[in-house]
Structure 1
Amino acid sequence: MTDRPRVVLVSHSARLGGAERALLETVDALLSGGFGCRALLPRAGPLREALEERRVPVVVLPFKWWTALPHTGRWRRAMRTGWNVVLAAWLAGRLRAWGCDLVYSNTLSVFVGALAARMARRPHVWHVHELGLRHTGALFDVGEQRALRLLDRWSDTLVACSRAVEAWLAASVPPEKIRVVYQSVPAGTDLVGAIPKGPRVRLVCVGSLSRFKRQGDAVQALARLVERGVDAELLLVGEGDPAYLVQLVRLVEHERLTDRVQLLGELPSAWPVLASADVVVTCSQHEGFGRTVVEAMKAGKPVVGADSGGTAELIRHGATGLLYPAADVTALADAVELLVRDRELARRVAQEGRRWATATFSSAAHAWAVEQVVREALRRRQAEPLPTI
């Protein structure tokens, strides 16, 4: 190992969603700590451009996810697994050629980096952002129990993005291998593209469109608010499942809210929209972390979130925001209405949320935690025998 350890980071996608932004924060932390970085992506995209802006070499390798919906055929799963194994063998050779000291995989969705690290006898860190897969309807190609065993076997350290994810992992992986590292979530400063705001109360919901993110709950809550005489509108930021998008459009039409709901798609930055919000809502029932919650807090906005997963870890009810029982549309509408009617409460939770988020999620704390995880994995591997596949 050189004085400047070299880390290869593997991303499951080239988009710029929450997990990908977390990867960029990890890269920034490693670069600030004097590490050399190289990134591996399954295709070109905005993430590649962001990495190259940081002068991080990027290699595009067409590996596949090892998760899919249940209707995916057995032969297709087998062929995909075989393809990934072949690519992992090729990558193992490249890791040696690059002088790689450690592989860092981002999210559970791909295993090619983990297997390649094993083949090349390199330490591996697996950064887990998901709170399991069952709520998404997806399945591991090799089955969940086998996948979790491989997660343990192919990792020197598992990084959990929250205590909620740590608890889920600890049911299958030795707890001593798990480290909780909160993302830094730097505050946005670019407000170019802010959407003009009229007199209506503006609700904002940010996240990839999917049924487990439950943006439909926000639409239904808006309908309840309008029925109660609250002149409100909803801006949805994000893209994702096309079928769920169709459902959302139909729901908006059914609730007669076409003039009150805007589907903005994926934006280069959600900060201009967050800056225009009166209340930010997050409805996901199984959120691993809840990046949007922290972003909203740092933007000084009151937040209403589902009392579940990582969201419940971030919001202290009545102090840094309001929680409501997940999937309870009426309770969501009640919480939003309370903030609309009680402006002093809204001001107080927004102020405390900003103070807490700014103190808790900092680039310095995140960089220190990431460096400790990587150096610990490197030291452990030096002290232990090399593993077998």
Structure 2
Amino acid sequence: MQVKVLFLSHDNDLKGAERCLLELVTHLDLNRFKPLIVLPWRGPMEEKLKQENVYYMVRFLDRWIPSRHRASWNHPFKYLPGLRNRLWSLLSLIEREKIDLVYTNTSTILEGALAARRAGIPHVWHIHEHLRGNADLRCYFPTTWIDRITLSLSDRIITPSKALADNRFHGSEKVRTVSNGVNLAAFRSGDGKRVYMELGIPQNASLVTFVGGISKRKSPIDFARAAVMIHRQRPDVHFLLAGSTNDPVLEKNIRDLLKQARLNDCFHILGFRSDVANLLAAAKVHVSTSLQESFGLTLIEAMASYKPVVATRCGGPEEVVADEETGFIVEPKNPQAIAEAMLKLLNQPDLARRFGEAGRLRVEKEFTVETYAHQISEIIEEAIRTYERPT
């Protein structure tokens, strides 16, 4: 008998959390599960679900924890009046579709947890983000309150790293850690030559990639500062920064820095890209300079592409990257250390190749999408099996 699961997405973009959800629902065993995905509005993820023939619908879900660039002083006053109608909409959907379990993707939406409690069915909350110190989110309640609410309204909580579980839930028996997974086939066939041709990069140049968007938490300005240092020694190296801009002021600061250092011709700011596999195929080294990271999805994507990585010590990456085996872990907010690690890999091709091959093997053993989907499937079934309806 199929388990009917209602998956709620906080966004219809294709950033980290949405990509994790997309990989999950497209790798579930359809003999065991019947997924229905609710998207809050139309966007790129909808097209992916159509291509994969996944059952979905669009119903507005507001965020009780909005992003900084969407937040305003009166957000709670706009959020609360519509909450009742959004709950009734989900409850009618749960009843009509005979849903067995609600699965909320990210901390930022609350309606799914409330609707599951009201309907008397289990709820799984997949938490992808830190709250304390997260420069990208705006919390209107103390983070300790939010974590308690999350625990009380969940039968199981999934986190991508032990670091995040310890940071937010302090060893609760409801928490299960499941590392994010990558589709190995998708990162075996990237076309790096296409990227070189598109950007007009000389074939003999080396390319360093950063994929993650322009936000304070990702700290791409440290990547730009490291690029300035490297350019003095290796003017043949090009740098690529891909991802949506959540902070226009930060983007301007980066562009001003590049202009002052005369790096505009070899530093490429691309915005959002759906062809991450091609970007990573073109890279010699992949870099993450985050100040806070719950996991590091692009790190395993780069490792799956046989690329050595440089990442900052900020939580999740330490559980992903084997330091001095698949890449280097350096301290955050330290462009000098980031640049030195990048140069070591750029200047020692044999070392970079060895790290890249070791990274691929590590992903094959620990971070496949098949393992990811299997472990979450077990958690969903466990939540249903052990569910006790609140009195």
Same fold by TM (over 0.5)?
Answer: yes
Q: 1:334 to 1:39 in 2, by over 3 A?
A: same
For 2:101 and 2:70, locate their aligned partners in 1 and report how far apart those are by CA, in whole Å.
36
- Alignment-mate amino acid for residue 184 of structure 1: G
Aligned to 1:195: 196
1:347 lines up with 2:349 in the alignment: no
For 2:131 and 2:222, locate their aligned partners in 1 and report how far apart those are by CA, in whole Å.
22
Aligned to 2:270: 264
Computed over aligned residues only, the root mean square deviation of the Cα atoms, in angstroms, reads 1.9
SS at match of 2:35: strand
1:4 lines up with 2:2 in the alignment: yes
Aligned residues: 381
Q: 1:11 to 1:70 in 2, by over 3 A?
A: closer
Identity of aligned residues (%): 29
Aligned to 1:319: 325
For 1:24 and 1:182, locate their aligned partners in 2 and report how far apart those are by CA, in whole Å.
15
CA contact (8 A) 1:279 1:301 kept: yes
Consecutive unaligned residues of structure 2, counting only runs of 5 or more, are none
1:181 aligns with one of 174, 178, 182: 178
Aligned to 1:35: 33
SS at match of 1:352: helix
Aligned to 1:360: 366
Give a deviation string over 1:64-122, Cα, whole Å, max 9, x none: 11124499555431321332343023211221111000011111111111111111111
Give a deviation string over 1:160-195, Cα, whole Å, max 9, x none: 011211211323xx5210011112211325535433
Q: 1:253 to 1:70 in 2, by over 3 A?
A: closer
1:240 aligns with one of 245, 250, 265: 245
CA contact (8 A) 1:195 1:272 kept: no
1:55 aligns with one of 29, 45, 53: 53
Cα offset for 1:31?
3.8
- Alignment-mate amino acid for residue 156 of structure 2: T
Cα offset for 1:229?
4.0
Aligned to 1:132: 131
Give a deviation string over 1:357-383, Cα, whole Å, max 9, x none: 1111123322220111000000111xx
Instruction: Provide TM-score, normalisation by structure 1.
Output: 0.93
For 2:69 and 2:242, locate their aligned partners in 1 and report how far apart those are by CA, in whole Å.
28
1:300 lines up with 2:306 in the alignment: yes
For 1:145 and 1:20, locate their aligned partners in 2 and report how far apart those are by CA, in whole Å.
25
SS at match of 1:375: helix
CA contact (8 A) 2:206 2:236 kept: yes
Q: 1:70 to 1:27 in 2, by over 3 A?
A: closer
SS at match of 1:29: coil
Cα offset for 1:247?
2.5
SS at match of 2:134: helix
SS at match of 1:240: coil
Single out whichever of 145-154 and 4-13 deviates more from structure 2.
145-154
CA contact (8 A) 2:240 2:269 kept: yes
SS at match of 1:67: coil
Aligned to 2:105: 106
For 1:70 and 1:339, locate their aligned partners in 2 and report how far apart those are by CA, in whole Å.
36
Cα offset for 1:40?
0.7
SS at match of 1:140: coil
Aligned to 1:94: 93
SS at match of 1:9: strand
Q: 1:44 to 1:270 in 2, by over 3 A?
A: same
SS at match of 2:103: strand
SS at match of 1:235: strand
For 1:47 and 1:70, locate their aligned partners in 2 and report how far apart those are by CA, in whole Å.
21
CA contact (8 A) 1:238 1:267 kept: yes
SS at match of 2:61: coil
Aligned to 2:233: 228
Aligned to 1:64: 62
Cα offset for 1:140?
2.3
Q: 1:245 to 1:32 in 2, by over 3 A?
A: farther
Aligned to 1:275: 281
CA contact (8 A) 2:11 2:18 kept: yes
For 1:217 and 1:322, locate their aligned partners in 2 and report how far apart those are by CA, in whole Å.
16
Aligned to 1:210: 215
